[in-house]
């Protein structure tokens, strides 16, 4: 069906047709009125002037019951908001999370973790912030995983349940970053403070253990590290562990290896390389342990020499590295050994050439001489 201009009907003209009572064979007068007699601009009469309804003025093409059903459905959808719009990917949180700063609903947004499909995640972001950026509203995004955990906790459930949520919770308001207020349908109001956590289950477990680990690390003293149990090998699932080797001058060299390094092929990584990459990821000139603990949730060794640094706020930094072998020959002992090898080779060569010329000198010299 085409409009009289021969084009497809636009949304607004369909809306106008659905709302036009004239099709029911009745007329409503003074739907619009001329507000300004000079400009002759007309305005929709929203009750400023009386309206006159005249029944059965002409033949109906739409029965009155259908018209009324359509009006009821329009009102229902207006009430539902985004939930009534099939083109919007809705969830149980759709139009239930309200920004306390600007009043808009939070919207769902899928974020792609670069390269690593496991790093895909979903956040909820204030509609104003999503449209216009930080300028109009600075309220914080909420990772969906975090939202579900907070809901489960407030509802007293082990695991988040969409149906129970929809039944119990009327709305969640976000009055300020890291604050949430749950409005239950039974009238209860439950505020909750939240901290950015990880968006993956393994991170959640890690977050839960974080406090205990922090204490543990401080009790363990100099042997502990901020990297302890934060580096995961993606190919076998084990954590990386630190190995330290002491040099003659008393300095340490720390290398992190997959805990099942005998069976697993994932490469080791030097602590200094880890620190350099983390500093880069955090935008710092040099590594800062406090900043690391505050910002970085975990590091995944994804593929040989490829890692991803995952932040508590959900963003991911990916990087590659290489393990350069230290050139041997730094120690005196090694230098001496190489010297002997060279002499030996030289003598062997000379021995061969002597053989060719029929010289009677001994073919092989003694390296001890
Ligand atoms: Zn907002
Ligand atoms: Zn491994």
pLDDT digits (tens, 9 = 90+) for 85-118: 666 667 889 889 999 999 999 999 887 765 555 6
Q: How far is the CA of 242 from the centre of ligand 2 (A)?
A: 13
Domain ranges of the chain: 11-84, 97-193, 202-320, 330-369
Contact by Cβ (8 Å): 174, 180? yes
Ligand (nearest to CA of 263):
2
What local confidence, expressed as pLDDT, does residue 62 receive?
87
Q: How far is the CA of 343 from the centre of ligand 2 (A)?
A: 44
What local confidence, expressed as pLDDT, does residue 293 receive?
85
pLDDT digits (tens, 9 = 90+) for 234-292: 999 888 988 887 777 877 788 999 988 888 889 999 999 999 999 999 998 899 888 89
How many whole angstroms separate alpha carbon 277 and alpha carbon 308? 10
What local confidence, expressed as pLDDT, does residue 232 receive?
92
**200 against 312, higher pLDDT:** 312
Q: How far is the CA of 267 from the centre of ligand 2 (A)?
A: 8
Whole-structure pTM value:
0.38
Which tokens hold the place of 235? 């190919």
**150 against 332, higher pLDDT:** 150
Q: How far is the CA of 231 from the centre of ligand 2 (A)?
A: 10
Q: How far is the CA of 109 from the centre of ligand 1 (A)?
A: 15
What local confidence, expressed as pLDDT, does residue 207 receive?
54
Q: How far is the CA of 165 from the centre of ligand 1 (A)?
A: 23
Which tokens hold the place of 338? 């190489």
What local confidence, expressed as pLDDT, does residue 122 receive?
86
Ligand (nearest to CA of 130):
1
How many whole angstroms separate alpha carbon 141 and alpha carbon 107? 10
Q: How far is the CA of 361 from the centre of ligand 1 (A)?
A: 93
Ligand (nearest to CA of 262):
2
Which tokens hold the place of 274? 């880890």
Q: How far is the CA of 43 from the centre of ligand 1 (A)?
A: 33
> What is the arithmetic mean of pLDDT over 301-305?
90
Which tokens hold the place of 318? 């990916």
**238 against 221, higher pLDDT:** 238
Short-list 105, 233, 224, 263, CA closest to 172: 105
Q: How far is the CA of 260 from the centre of ligand 2 (A)?
A: 6
């Amino acid at each position: 069906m085409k409009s009289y201009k021969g084009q497809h009907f636009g949304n607004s003209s369909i809306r106008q047709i659905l709302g036009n009572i004239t099709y029911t064979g009745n007329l409503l007068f003074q739907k619009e009125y001329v507000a300004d007699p000079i400009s002759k601009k007309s305005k929709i009469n929203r009750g400023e002037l009386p309206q006159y309804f005249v029944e059965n003025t002409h033949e109906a093409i739409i029965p009155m019951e259908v018209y009324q059903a359509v009006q009821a459905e329009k009102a229902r959808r207006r009430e539902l908001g985004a939930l009534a719009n099939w083109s919007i990917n809705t969830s149980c949180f759709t139009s239930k999370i309200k920004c306390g700063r600007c009043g808009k609903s939070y919207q769902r947004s899928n974020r792609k973790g670069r390269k690593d499909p496991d790093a895909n995640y979903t956040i909820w972001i204030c509609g104003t912030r999503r449209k216009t950026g930080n300028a109009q509203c600075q309220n914080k995004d909420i990772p969906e995983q975090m939202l579900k955990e907070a809901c489960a906790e407030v509802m007293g459930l082990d695991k988040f349940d969409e149906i129970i949520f929809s039944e119990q919770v009327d709305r969640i308001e976000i009055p300020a970053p890291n604050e949430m207020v749950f409005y239950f349908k039974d009238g209860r109001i439950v505020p909750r403070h939240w901290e950015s956590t990880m968006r993956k289950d393994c991170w959640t477990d890690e977050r839960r253990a974080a406090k205990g680990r922090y204490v543990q690390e401080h009790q363990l003293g100099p042997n502990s590290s901020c990297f302890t149990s934060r580096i995961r090998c993606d190919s076998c699932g084990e954590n990386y562990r630190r190995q330290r080797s002491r040099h003659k001058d008393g300095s340490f060299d720390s290398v992190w290896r997959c805990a099942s390094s005998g069976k697993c092929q994932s490469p080791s990584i030097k602590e200094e390389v880890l620190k350099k990459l983390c500093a880069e990821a955090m935008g710092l000139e040099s590594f800062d342990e406090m900043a690391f603990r505050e910002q970085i949730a975990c590091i995944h060794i994804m593929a040989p020499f490829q890692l991803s640094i995952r932040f508590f706020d959900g963003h991911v930094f990916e990087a590659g590295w290489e393990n350069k072998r230290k050139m041997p020959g730094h120690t005196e002992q090694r230098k001496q050994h190489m010297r002997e090898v060279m002499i030996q080779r030289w003598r062997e060569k000379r021995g061969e050439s002597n053989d060719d010329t029929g010289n009677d000198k001994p073919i092989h010299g003694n390296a001890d001489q």
